[in-house]
């Protein structure tokens, strides 16, 4: 018996086998979940690189569908949720594991961030959670669970995290407001604040190597988090084991957040 037997949901944000969304997906699949996936649309449909990368991972798990979705595009979001409803009817969980900031705006100091870069980063990294929540709400089963991924740089200044820190502060606030609005309908919204994990997105963050060293030296557990640990915690928050938890940002970071 798996925790997700008979449960269905959608995962947004697998880029490759290093993605945090992939770590959570593996745990969900192990517990019996039926899962559909999205990927960033390919520029050249004749050479579907993004789709192939995702399919290579999720097809062996018995993915129910793999659909293109740029979260900046309302029409694509509408069409994806229409397909989700056609395929699944009702759903039990949605994983939002998406963030982006233009490199030139992410690497510089916050006072140099351009208006366009700020808007793009907030749109993809924060508004997308709201866009998913609004569309998932009507098709969630009672007990439905929405999960997003954040980082400590949204709570306090972490050198190198810059613009993404502002986005994560917004994302954590959105998590709380959405939890308060959707809670009366029996729906839960939570975030995992993960310690640093080597992924494509992380490679855009300055001082990332230094971050890994800091966690190893100063976190209470004196090491970095493993992807599997984030995967298990994500699965927990999406499951009925966490039925009393909403509006929460759960730190899965070897305890680093309690230090200084």
The footprint of ligand NDP (CB under 6 A) covers: 13-15, 19-21, 40, 50, 69-72, 97-100, 124, 149-151, 194, 196-197, 199-202
Residue closer to ligand NDP by CB (options 126, 187) is 126
| Whole-angstrom distance, CA of residue 140 vs CA of residue 242 | 16
End-to-end Cα spacing for the chain: 43
Task: Give, as one character, the DSSP assignment of residue 16.
Answer: S
DSSP sequence for 118-131: HHHHHIIIIIHHHH
Residue 111 annotated in active site: no
Residue closer to ligand NDP by CB (options 144, 196) is 196
Residue closer to ligand NDP by CB (options 41, 143) is 41
**Closest distance of CB 84 from ligand NDP, Å:** 15
**Closest distance of CB 150 from ligand NDP, Å:** 6
SS3 content of the chain, % helix, strand, coil (to 5): 50, 15, 35
Residue closer to ligand NDP by CB (options 33, 147) is 147
| Whole-angstrom distance, CA of residue 128 vs CA of residue 139 | 17
Q: Please pick, among 127, 151, 177, 256, the residue that the annotation labels catalytic.
A: 151
**Closest distance of CB 257 from ligand NDP, Å:** 12
Q: Which of these, 243, 35, 78, lies nearest to 144 by C-alpha position? A: 243
**Closest distance of CB 117 from ligand NDP, Å:** 14
Residue 177 annotated in active site: no
Tell me the three state secondary structure of residue 194: strand
Q: Please pick, among 111, 127, 161, 177, the residue that the annotation labels catalytic.
A: 161
Give me the active site residues, please. 151, 161
């Amino acid at each position: 018996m798996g925790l997700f037997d008979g449960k269905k949901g959608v995962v947004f944000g697998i880029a490759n086998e290093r993605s945090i969304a992939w770590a959570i997906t593996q745990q969900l699949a192990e517990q019996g979940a039926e899962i559909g996936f999205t990927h960033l649309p390919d520029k050249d449909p004749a050479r579907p690189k993004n789709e192939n990368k995702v399919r290579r991972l999720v097809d062996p798990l018995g993915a129910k569908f793999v659909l293109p979705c740029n979260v900046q595009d309302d029409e694509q979001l509408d069409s994806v949720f229409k397909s989700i409803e056609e395929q699944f009817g009702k759903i039990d969980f949605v994983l939002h594991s998406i963030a982006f900031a233009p490199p030139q705006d992410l690497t510089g100091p916050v006072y140099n961030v351009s208006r366009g870069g700020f808007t793009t980063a907030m749109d993809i990294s924060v508004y997308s959670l709201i866009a998913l929540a609004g569309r998932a709400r009507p098709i969630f089963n009672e007990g439905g669970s929405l999960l997003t991924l954040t980082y400590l740089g949204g709570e306090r200044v972490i050198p190198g995290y810059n613009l993404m820190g502002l986005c994560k502060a917004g994302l954590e606030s959105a998590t709380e407001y959405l939890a308060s609005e959707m809670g009366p309908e029996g729906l839960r919204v939570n975030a995992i604040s993960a310690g640093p994990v080597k992924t494509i997105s992380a490679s855009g963050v300055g001082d990332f190597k230094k971050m890994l060293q800091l966690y190893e030296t100063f976190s209470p557990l004196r090491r970095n988090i493993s992807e599997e640990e984030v995967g298990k915690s994500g699965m927990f928050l999406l499951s009925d084991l966490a039925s009393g938890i909403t509006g929460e940002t759960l730190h899965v970071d070897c305890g680093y957040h309690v230090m200084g």
